[in-house]
Amino acid sequence: YNWFNPGNTLNCNHPVVMELVLDSLRHWVKEYHIDGFRFDLASVLCRGPDGSPLDAPPLIREIAKDSVLSRCKIIAEPWDCGGLYLVGRFPNWDRWAEWNGKYRDDLRRFIKGDPGMKGVLATRVSGSADLYQVNQRKPHHGVNFIIAHDGFTLCDLVSYNLKHNDANGEGGRDGCNDNFSWNCGVEGETNDSNVLALRSRQMKNFHVALMISQGTPMMLMGDEYGHTRYGNNNSYGHDTCINNFQWGQLAERRYGHFRFFSEMIKFRQNHPILKRDRFLSKNDVTWHEDCWDNLESKFLAFTIHDHNSGGDIYLAFNAHDYSVDAVIPPAPQQKHWNRVVDTNLESPNDIAPEGVPLTGSGYRIAPFSSILLKASP
């Protein structure tokens, strides 16, 4: 069988093969002090000798119960090349984390302006309780991501509608066709300042959403400076600039794009309410929404409550192609709102870590942009 794609697949649930795998993993932990493992196309480990899915695959269970491996980070890419898609259903014994492929697809679709995505956006940024709130699982068992090592980079996600894989020598047959990308008006490289500004906003919107979502965030190295593979979404075979880290570009963008990404990561680290160890209750979040069933609505605003210090966080995402005048709720008692993020503003005003005091009870949120407010004394 070839459920793995690169070649014939081992029967990893055979006792002899299973022991080989377990011994190898233990060796990496004991001798090389590896902190954990992410298993590529891990659903293949959930198949029997004939390829049929197993409800309780022995290898997956042994890794979760092993005295050494159970203390490691163990993460599954919960699908394989044979179509066994187990996002939210991967056999886990409350130990395995999963790449949340539904988070990736749903966030991509909302941010680019697809209709009918507001409700699922709320579910995803809240930690995907529909997938992971089972038994003793926690929000951190869901690994949230927009971009991974394969597929489009973040820059290409907002620059290309189609894959451009001719350089791979496979006649364009390789690589995923369902990228949920949007080129913002021009396919590929451009000097159009309006298109470039929109692409910049969209990249920041994605990053804001990722950093405020409950769960474990994952980024692709290079997205922090806007790396491009020029539309190639299956570039593994190239030892060229499309795969090599561009240190010069990082230096050029250190005080713009890179600064925004860095400061948003720091903001998440400094605000525990964005990384709770339990799923949100109705007291933890207020949705400023009364038209969930309106499929044409592409605006979502909500407040995440800090019950300890009153440092609430207000967020709004506008995926419409027009501005939205949002009514900002009152800040908690003895607090006032400070604007931390407005992705429509140019650097360095797009993110102000100390906050800019907000005046009035309304805020005009530009097309394809997002804002973040923090309640402060």
By annotation, the residues acting in catalysis are 40, 77
Q: Residue-wise over 218-229: b if at least 16 C-beta within 10 A, else e?
A: bbbebbbbbbbb
DSSP class of residue 53?
B
Residue 130 in 3-state DSSP?
helix
Nearest-angstrom CA–CA distance, 271 and 259: 18
Positive or negative, the CA dihedral 206, 207, 212, 217 is: positive
Across the chain, which distance is largest between two alpha carbons, in Å? Answer: 69
Pair 222, 151: CB distance under 8 Å? no
Residue holding tokens 């060229």? 240
Report the alpha-carbon distance of residue 11 to residue 85 in Å, rounded.
19
> Using CA atoms, how far apart are residues 346 and 257, in angstroms rounded to an integer?
10
Q: For residues 370 and 273, what is the distance between their CA atoms, to the nearest angstrom?
A: 19
Phi, psi of 365 (to 5 degrees): -100, 120
